[in-house]
Structure 1
Amino acid sequence: MNKKEYIAATAEKTDGISKATVEEVLKAFTETITEGLIKGERIPIVGLGAFETADVEERIGKNPKTGQPVNIPAHRKPKFKISKTLKELVRNPISFS
């Protein structure tokens, strides 16, 4: 499912909310999560999972073109931990109709 399909499906499930409004909400949702992650916050979404960051130590990697060693500096990366509820729903699907 791409972004356009997601917006259409969400608008269809919400009584009277337009695709444009769904798109605005999705944009605000994404921006809010991004801002929280930049601040190092954990953002839980009940029934879905939690967005968080993890610190990655400096390491030596390999340049895929040349095979030469490359220093990869320490950095923070975003992570998403899926909730137990969502894992169970994917394993044992139910109808939302």
Structure 2
Amino acid sequence: MAAGETLTRADLAESIHTKVGLSRADSARFVEDILTHMCESLSRGDNVKISGFGSFILRDKGERIGRNPKTGVEVPIAPRRVLTFRASQMLRDRIVEAD
């Protein structure tokens, strides 16, 4: 995969097919199962940590006052839950090496 390209589910499944030897259908199902499990965990409010890769962390942000930059009018911003990703040190080191 060239730099700047997007890694897709199909790319992940093809990599599993090539490196592990599962059929293409089983590889695709494997990728879907992992992503489904991650989504279900996050929707329950659980964080997801993948050792050596990083953590998907849910944070609750409280209500706050924002400002419309065009008019300057103050607007309340509703409380919400946001998803953040924090790369592991191992991943950060690999990204720096790739530069």
- TM bucket by the smaller chain? 0.7 to 0.9
Q: Which of 44, 49, 58 is the matching residue for 1:53?
A: 58
Count of aligned positions: 92
Q: 1 CA distance for matches of 2:57 and 2:34?
A: 15
Cα distance in structure 1, aligned partners of 2:35 and 2:68 = 32
Q: Which runs of 4+ in 1 moved over 4 A?
A: 60-64, 66-70
Say if 2:8 is the partner of 1:2: yes
Q: Deviations over 1:42-93 (max 9, x none)?
A: 22111111112011122345679x9976543111111211100011111114
1:9 shift after superposition: 2.1
- Native 8 Å contact 2:9 2:31 kept in 1: no
**Which residue in 2 is equivalent to 1:13?**
19
Indicate yes or no: 2:90 matched with 1:85.
Answer: yes
Using structure 2 for the length normalisation, give the TM-score: 0.72
| TM-score, length basis structure 1 | 0.74
In the alignment, is the contact (CA less than 8 A) between 2:12 and 2:31 conserved in 1?
no
| 1:85–1:68 CA distance, 2 compared to 1 (3 A) | same
Aligned to 1:27: 32
Distance 1:73 1:67 in 2: 18
- Cα RMSD of the aligned pairs, angstroms, is 2.5
Uncovered stretches (5+) of structure 1, i.e. residues with no partner: none
SS at match of 1:92: helix
Unaligned runs of 5+ in 2: 1-6
